[in-house]
Amino acid sequence: MAFPKLSPTKYDGLKYYNDNIKGKVFIAVFIVAAKKYRKVVGYSNDEYRTTDKIAFIKKEELKEIASKGNYVNKELTLENIWDMYLDHIKSSKSNSEKTIAAKEGHWKNHIKKSLAKKSINKIRNHDVQTIINNSLKINSPKTAKNIGNTISSIFNYALKNEYAKDNPARYLDIPKFDNVRTYPLTNDESKRLFNTIINYDEMIYRGIFTFLVHGRRLNEVLSMEWGMLNIDKKLYTVGYDINKAKRNMIYEITSELLEVFINSEHRSGLIFRSPVTGEKFKDIRRAWNRILSAAGIEANVTIHDLRHLIGEISVNELDLPLETVAAILGHTNTNITGRYSKVRTDTAAKGLNKVFEYLKA
């Protein structure tokens, strides 16, 4: 394949040219066993926003594979691709830590044994479907679907880098399933739980769960740092790197949150630190069970149900517009541009205030 005139980067063996659509197109250039290789290793406008640093890492991986003979013989195995893909999603931070951990589990427990040593271009739909069928014997359809999605992501990465000719995980047969969870609490129980949380006597857990009843996700709350707060303006930012929307989300600091911050014992790093390790919490389910017990809740309620609590009250009791509920919960709409971010902040604040008034009544 002929490339336009290439410009050097600061990394050895990595060059680029500019494309009107793709942005910077990075080309790995290296020699192994007297053979010269020139290979596209990503571009700045791809879904991973490849940088020169990431491209250089991929170039080094390609060179290592070539030196072992795999690339020269065009016999890349799925394990070769997996290693490159895993390094890529970690380096580019295109996936959350939780998602990466889940994919690593899928690889180790379901994919590796069957497909790791198989040539990338010799894997067929039947091979992937067999993994899915085996998973369905012991796991839910949702888990099987997630495993299939991981395999598909690996092959999509291979396709974009021209290592593979097809994605055999595109057409998998998985039973349909209803992923909608029914909210388990009555209105009275919701009010009891809410008021138990905002008045809970263990201050650090009062803070965490008070943050959660603002519609935030658990990892967002546990990852929040003091630098994300603007106490003077009464605003906080959930960074793009810790939320599902992958963009900064700005919310108003309510009086309930302000009390949490004012009573905190420190003002730097993580807002909520484990009293045991001094680092990020890994598990707060015991504290959650204590709160449920204090509230007299016997139903099976998950921590994530606190987001459902906000949605349930907003829609079914207060009849708030869906746009307001989306703003509170941090759901995004691709048609909403940055100029409306202030509107979303105000909308979320007013909507949440109505929910809190209802729950306190």
Concatenating the DSSP letter of every residue in 257-298 gives: HHHHHHT-S--SSBSS--TTTSS--S--HHHHHHHHHHTT--
Q: What is the pLDDT of residue 342?
A: 52
pLDDT greater than 50 at residue 340? no
User: Which band of pLDDT confidence, cut at 50, 70 and 90, is reported for residue 266?
Assistant: confident
Lowest mean pLDDT of 17-21, 214-218, 325-329, name the range: 325-329
Q: Are 3 and 27 in contact (CB under 8 A)?
A: yes
Q: Is 142 a residue whose pLDDT tops 80?
A: yes
pLDDT of residue 179 exceeding 70 = no
User: Would you state the CATH architecture of domain 187-360?
Assistant: Orthogonal Bundle (1.10)
Under the banding of pLDDT at 50, 70 and 90, the label for residue 17 is very high
pLDDT-derived band at 306, boundaries 50, 70, 90: very high
Dump strand ranges (E) for the chain.
7-8, 14-19, 23-32, 35-43, 229-230, 235-238, 249-252
Q: Lowest mean pLDDT: which of 74-78, 85-89, 192-196?
A: 74-78
Mean pLDDT of all residues in 190-219? 95
* Angle between helical axes of 187-198 and 305-312 (0-180°, round to 10): 120
Query: Does residue 35 register a pLDDT over 80?
Result: no
Q: If you ran DSSP here, which 8-state letter would residue 241 be given?
A: T
Task: Give the total residue count for the chain.
Answer: 361
Task: State the Cα–Cα distance between residues 58 and 40, nearest whole angstrom.
Answer: 10
pLDDT reading at 322 higher than 60? yes
The pLDDT, as a whole number, for residue 336 is 36
* pLDDT of 69: 60
What pLDDT score does 92 carry?
84
Q: What is the pLDDT of residue 329?
A: 87
Strands 7-8 and 235-238: unpaired
Of 232-236, 256-260, 312-316, the poorest mean pLDDT is in: 312-316
pLDDT value at 178 more than 80: no
What gap in Å lies between CA 312 and CA 357, rounded to an integer? 15
Determine contact, residues 4/17, Cβ cutoff 8 Å.
yes
Confidence check: pLDDT of 213 > 60: yes
Q: Cα angle at 335 between 333 and 341, to 5 degrees?
A: 70
Of 273 and 31, more confident: 273
pLDDT of residue 97: 84
Residue 222 three-state SS: helix
Per-residue pLDDT, averaged over 172-199, amounts to 89
Band (pLDDT 50/70/90 cuts) for residue 74 is low
Q: Stretch 298-304: mean pLDDT, rounded?
A: 93
> Could you identify the residue written with the tokens 């009250």?
313
If you compute the radius of gyration of the chain from its CA atoms, what whole number of angstroms results? 24
- pLDDT beyond 50 at 73: no
Angle at 273 between CA 272 and CA 279, to 5 degrees: 140
Does the reported pTM lie above 0.85? no
Pair 239, 251: CB distance under 8 Å: no
pLDDT at position 332 over 90 = no
Mean pLDDT computed over 52-75: 75
Q: Which CATH code is given to the segment(s) 74-179?
A: 1.10.150.130
Percent above pLDDT 70 for the chain: 93
Three-state secondary structure call for residue 230: strand
Could you give the residue range(s) of every CATH 1.10.150.130 domain in the chain?
A: 74-179
Phi and psi for 161 in degrees, rounded to 5? -100, 10
Which pLDDT does position 1 carry in this prediction? 58
Q: What integer pLDDT is reported at residue 66 of this predicted model?
A: 77
- Average pLDDT (103-108) is 96
pLDDT at 244: 76
Split at pLDDT 50, 70, 90, the class of 331 is confident
Intervals of CATH 1.10.443.10 along the chain: 187-360
pLDDT-based confidence at 243, cuts 50/70/90? confident
